[in-house]
RNA sequence: GGACGGGUGGCCUAGUCAGGAUAUGGCAGCAGCCUCCUAAGCUGCAGGCCGAGGGUUCGAAUCCCUCCCCGUUCGCCA
């Protein structure tokens, strides 16, 4: 692939040959040294036992046997490690030429032909997206982008829960609460307008038994297949969803497909799941008449190992319909990924076993994230203890606007607004995705609006900086001559650029999206150090080569930003 | 109570899967750096019993055991 992989392969072959020559074919690992200037190292400690020599001796012997060749420029030993250095000339030429040749495609892995379905967001259409839930679309969308870069055919999908009590409550509220009697939110967006009815309906249901009865009745009619109720609930969900889509679009998230939960009831596939489940050896029925499968032998723990898939009246449950949904996804995908909140862990596990019982060979790959809370505690849409994503976006964009205005007097108002949006949204996405998903996350405005250091704007700033230099340079002749790029900062930058495709592979295929912002920061930081230490435009004979390095950095950064769903501003 | 996940300088965080050399980066703090390509930047300083204790190993933030703290979950809810 790239020079980084070539170098690693050469190190592996050279080491294996040297070991074979000395009569010991033992396994060894190759790692990136945590200390010193070498680029790769082979620790010899685990070889010591089988070879019956000290690690230090082994390392010295191996280092003496391996001759630098190809992309390996030097081999040495220290403290029981064999250290390998990459040939700088090869590194510079290969890396820069590959980036220039591939451009937007630099970092992209060869096509796999694998169809990957990524379900994400899927929040209940009962209220606006709050910053707790926002982790889902941001992680999901970033993962989907990375999987595409990994050469897969990716479809993103939102499962719309237009079935069940929550949406019925909302619909009851919208249909029965007079317009003037709720405090409508100021924001002119359907999700914000409707959530007021949802809150009020919940409150009324708790306080007034008559209302509770009306809602129960509506729910019964819904379950019984009353087309009027089903239709109006779906209609309400649709309206709500328009608002949610707008919020998602504002953070550069657009899903390929929306699948409605009620469709699995309407088309009979949920009922088909029920009849198939009933025929399995795991199925049973309680005295009341509800059906379950016993998952005890699958290692499901807890007080109750029974997984119920119909109510006593025969109607289906959320998870039953989710089984039908997953079978639908299996029929059109090779890999199915679900981005879920950690509260779904048990449900996801039950789903997996139920699918297995039904004979499915494919299994969903869940990806869980921990909840985001506020310093004062958990968020709750119903109680109104929330920070909405829309408010966060506004706040971040406003803050970015102030920053731009304070340092630029030559930009048009429109341009400043436009750029502020790119920066504000970038800051939000970066801030969310930089943290490992399973880590608990306490939302603070200070962190969310951080534009310095390890932040989205830091990467964008470097992109803008590189663009500015290239603008000033005008036309120049590209030059990847390694004899003109010998400064330590230049070499370090090139090394970082050469790693991109391996980072993409990890972020996508291993579903470790948080490595991507870390990498972006590494690129930007290496660039800033280079920028501070090495003159470019005024560097005479080296100028073209340095400008080439600037251009390559810009390309890599833009590709990283693209994978992160962040804009790459040309000035800021 | 069981299951699952998290615990790394004042705060946030990487590294844990595949044990290795001096634990990553940032924020906040202190001290420097714009007559020079965007200072949303760069350089330096200071700050750590990697939750606690035991074990395995030549070697443990990383593996094993026990315990503590935080989160999630254990519905004929979604």
What does A288-355 look like in DSSP terms, one character per residue?
TS-EEEE-GGGT--SS--EEE-B-TTS-B-HHHHHHHHHHHHHHT-SEEEEEEEGGGHHHHHHHHHHH
Nucleotide nearest A446 (Cα, C1'): B27
A110: left (phi over 0), alpha (psi -120 to 50) or beta: beta
**At A529, which CATH number?**
1.10.730.10
**At A55, which CATH number?**
3.30.1360.70
Q: How far is the CA of A268 from the C1' of B34 (A)?
A: 70
| Strand B contacted by A464 CB (< 7 A) | yes
Which helix (H) or strand (E) covers residue A517, if one does? helix A515-533
CB burial of A225-236 (b: ≥16 within 10 Å; e: otherwise) equals: eeeebbebbbeb
Tell me if A243 is assigned to some domain.
no
Taking the CA atoms of chain A, what radius of gyration do you get in angstroms? 29
Tell me if A205 is assigned to some domain.
no
A209 Cβ contact list (under 8 Å, min separation 6): none
Q: How far is the CA of A131 from the C1' of B32 (A)?
A: 40
Give yes or no for a contact between A396 and A451, defined as CB atoms under 8 angstroms apart: no
Q: How far is the CA of A434 from the C1' of B50 (A)?
A: 20
| Strand B contacted by A78 CB (< 7 A) | yes
Q: How far is the CA of A561 from the C1' of B76 (A)?
A: 47
Give yes or no for a contact between A477 and A410, defined as CB atoms under 8 angstroms apart: no
Give the whole-angstrom CA distance, residue A96 versus residue A549: 7
Collapsed DSSP state (helix, strand, coil) of residue A116: strand
Nucleotide nearest A408 (Cα, C1'): B38
Give the whole-angstrom CA distance, residue A197 versus residue A206: 14
Residue A52 gets which letter from DSSP? Answer: T
Q: How far is the CA of A124 from the C1' of B78 (A)?
A: 8
Position A445 scores a pLDDT of 93
* CA A354 to mean position of chain CA atoms: 27
Tell me if A550 is assigned to some domain.
yes
Give the whole-angstrom CA distance, residue A123 versus residue A41: 47
Of A25, A58, A86, which one is at a domain's C-terminal end? A86
What domain count does chain A have? 2
Nucleotide nearest A223 (Cα, C1'): B76
Interface predicted TM-score (ipTM): 0.96
Of A39, A59, A86, which one is at a domain's C-terminal end? A86
Give the whole-angstrom CA distance, residue A567 versus residue A341: 27
Domain that holds residue A486: 390-563
| Strand B contacted by A402 CB (< 7 A) | no
Flag residues 363-392 of A with CB < 7 Å from strand B.
370-371, 378
Tell me if A245 is assigned to some domain.
no
Flag residues 171-230 of A with CB < 7 Å from strand B.
none
Flag residues 100-159 of A with CB < 7 Å from strand B.
124
Q: How far is the CA of A316 from the C1' of B2 (A)?
A: 28
**Each residue's pLDDT tens digit, A493-539:** 999 999 999 999 999 999 999 999 999 999 999 999 999 999 999 98
Low-confidence ranges of chain A (pLDDT < 70): 1, 301-303, 384
Strand order in the sheet with A81-86: A40-43, A81-86, A72-78
Q: Which two tokens stand for residue A343?
A: 């509260």
Tell me if A26 is assigned to some domain.
yes
Query: Which phi and psi angles does A293 have, rounded to 5°?
Result: -115, 145
| Strand B contacted by A409 CB (< 7 A) | no
CB burial of A162-176 (b: ≥16 within 10 Å; e: otherwise) equals: bbbebbbbbbbbbee
| Strand B contacted by A52 CB (< 7 A) | no
A70: left (phi over 0), alpha (psi -120 to 50) or beta: left
Give the whole-angstrom CA distance, residue A32 versus residue A396: 38
Strand B, nucleotides covered by protein (CB < 7 Å): 1-7, 12-15, 18, 20-23, 25-28, 36-43, 58-59, 70-78
Give the whole-angstrom CA distance, residue A167 versus residue A234: 9
Q: How far is the CA of A375 from the C1' of B49 (A)?
A: 29
Tell me if A531 is assigned to some domain.
yes
| Strand B contacted by A258 CB (< 7 A) | no
**Each residue's pLDDT tens digit, A328-383:** 999 999 999 999 999 999 999 999 999 999 999 999 999 999 999 998 888 877 77
Give the whole-angstrom CA distance, residue A116 versus residue A118: 6
Question: How many CA atoms are closer than 13 Å to the CA of A502, on its beta-carbon side?
Answer: 13
What are the percentages of helix, strand and coil residues in chain A, rounded to 5? Answer: 55, 10, 30
Strand order in the sheet with A291-294: A283-285, A291-294, A306-308
A122: left (phi over 0), alpha (psi -120 to 50) or beta: left
Tell me if A123 is assigned to some domain.
no
Tell me if A570 is assigned to some domain.
no
| Strand B contacted by A95 CB (< 7 A) | no
* CA A481 to mean position of chain CA atoms: 37
Nearest to A437 by CA among A504, A374, A367: A367
Of A40, A57, A86, which one is at a domain's C-terminal end? A86
Nucleotide nearest A342 (Cα, C1'): B72
Give the whole-angstrom CA distance, residue A464 versus residue A527: 12
Give the whole-angstrom CA distance, residue A187 versus residue A104: 38
Nucleotide nearest A316 (Cα, C1'): B76
Flag residues 315-344 of A with CB < 7 Å from strand B.
317-319, 342-344
Q: Treating both helix axes as pointing N-terminal to C-terminal, what angle do A389-407 and A227-250 enclose, rounded to 10 degrees?
A: 20
Residue appearing with tokens 């304070």: A406
Q: Largest Cα–Cα distance in chain A?
A: 88
Give yes or no for a contact between A83 and A33, defined as CB atoms under 8 angstroms apart: yes
Give yes or no for a contact between A568 and A558, defined as CB atoms under 8 angstroms apart: yes
Q: How far is the CA of A1 from the C1' of B26 (A)?
A: 32
Collapsed DSSP state (helix, strand, coil) of residue A29: coil
| Strand B contacted by A98 CB (< 7 A) | no
Give the whole-angstrom CA distance, residue A399 versus residue A208: 44
Q: How far is the CA of A89 from the C1' of B21 (A)?
A: 27
Residue A108 gets which letter from DSSP? Answer: P
Flag residues 291-310 of A with CB < 7 Å from strand B.
301-304, 306, 308
Give the whole-angstrom CA distance, residue A253 versus residue A571: 23
Nearest residue to B33 via alpha carbon and C1': A532
Flag residues 506-525 of A with CB < 7 Å from strand B.
512, 514-515, 518, 521, 525
């Amino acid at each position: 692939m790239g020079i980084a992989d070539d170098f690693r392969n050469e190190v592996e072959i050279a080491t294996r040959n040297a070991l074979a020559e000395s009569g010991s074919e033992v396994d060894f690992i190759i790692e990136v040294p945590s200390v010193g200037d070498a680029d790769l190292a082979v620790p010899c400690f685990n070889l010591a036992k089988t070879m019956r020599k000290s690690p230090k001796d082994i390392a010295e012997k191996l280092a003496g046997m391996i001759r630098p060749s190809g992309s390996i420029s030097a081999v040495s030993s220290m403290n029981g490690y064999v250290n390998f250095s990459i040939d700088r000339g090869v590194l510079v030429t290969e890396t820069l030429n590959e980036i220039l040749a591939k451009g937007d495609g630099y970092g992209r892995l060869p096509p796999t032909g694998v169809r990957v379905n990524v379900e994400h967001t899927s929040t209940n259409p009962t209220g606006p997206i709050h910053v707790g839930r926002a982790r889902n679309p941001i992680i999901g969308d970033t993962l989907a982008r990375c999987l595409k870069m990994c050469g897969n055919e990716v479809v993103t999908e939102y499962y719309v829960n237009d079935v069940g009590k929550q949406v019925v409550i909302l619909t009851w509220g919208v249909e029965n609460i007079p317009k003037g009697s709720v405090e409508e939110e100021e924001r002119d967006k359907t999700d914000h307008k409707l959530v007021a009815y949802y809150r009020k309906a919940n409150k009324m249901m708790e306080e007034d038994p008559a209302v509770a009865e009306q809602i129960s009745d509506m729910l019964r009619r819904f379950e019984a297949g009353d087309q009027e109720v089903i239709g109006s609930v779906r209609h309400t969900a649709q309206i709500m969803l328009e608002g949610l889509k707008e919020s998602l679009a504002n953070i550069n998230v657009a899903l390929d497909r929306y699948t409605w939960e009620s469709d699995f009831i309407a088309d009979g596939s949920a009922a088909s799941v029920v009849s198939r489940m009933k025929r399995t050896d795991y199925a049973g029925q309680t005295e009341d008449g509800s059906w379950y499968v016993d998952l005890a032998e699958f290692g499901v723990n807890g007080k109750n190992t029974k997984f119920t898939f119909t109510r006593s009246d025969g109607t289906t449950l959320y998870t039953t319909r989710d089984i039908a949904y997953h079978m639908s996804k299996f029929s059109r995908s090779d890999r199915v990924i679900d981005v879920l909140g950690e509260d779904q862990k048990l449900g996801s596990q039950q789903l997996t076993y139920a699918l297995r019982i039904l004979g499915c060979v494919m299994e969903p790959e869940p990806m869980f994230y921990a909840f985001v809370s506020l310093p004062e505690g958990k968020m709750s849409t119903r109680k109104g203890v929330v920070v909405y994503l829309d408010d966060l976006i506004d706040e971040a964009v406003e803050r970015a606007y102030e920053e731009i205005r304070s340092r630029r007097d030559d930009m048009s108002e429109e341009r400043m607004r436009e750029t502020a949006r790119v920066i504000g949204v970038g800051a939000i996405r970066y801030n969310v995705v930089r943290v490992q998903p399973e880590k608990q996350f306490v939302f603070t405005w200070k962190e969310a609006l951080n534009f310095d250091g390890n932040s989205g704007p830091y990467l964008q700033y470097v992109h803008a900086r590189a663009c500015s230099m290239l603008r000033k340079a005008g036309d120049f002749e590209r030059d990847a001559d390694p004899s003109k790029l010998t400064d330590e900062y230049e070499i370090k930058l090139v090394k970082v650029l050469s790693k991109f495709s391996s980072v993409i592979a990890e972020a996508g295929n291993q579903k470790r999206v948080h490595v991507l912002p870390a990498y972006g920061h590494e690129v930007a930081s290496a660039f800033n150090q280079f920028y501070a230490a090495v003159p470019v435009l005024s560097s005479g004979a080296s100028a073209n080569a340095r400008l080439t390095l600037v251009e390559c950095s810009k390309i890599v950064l833009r590709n990283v930003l693209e994978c992160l769903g962040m804009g790459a501003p040309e000035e800021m």
